Copies of this chain bind each other. A is one copy, B any other.
Amino acid sequence: MYIILVYDVDEKRVSKMLKLCRRYLNWIQNSVFEGEITEVKLKELVHHASRIMDTECDSLIIFRTRQEKWLEKMVIGKEKNEISNMI
């Protein structure tokens, strides 16, 4: 499946979340990631994220779609390097 992931976590936890998400997805904006992922890997990611987050005040939203072609992306302004997940 293809997902878009966005998080909003306290500054103290940002670097951990960023590092975690980059292990699974492509980083496309400040706290936004996208990519193809399996059901198992997604569960793993959500599990690790839940352990980093304070669920009382942090938020993680994941949009899932079966096929990437069902989503069309428009970028206005500055675009992150598409292979930023490899750096």
Contacts and interface: CB of A to CB of B under 8 A. Distances in A.
Contacts of A71: 63-65, 71
Interface residues of A, number: 36
A80 B57 CA distance: 11
A56 interface: yes
A84 interface: no
Contact of A77 (B60, B72, B73, B74): B60
A74 B59 contact: no
Given A6-B6, A32-B6, A59 B73 contact: no
Contact of A29 (B49, B61, B76): B61
Contact of A78 (B57, B75, B76): B57
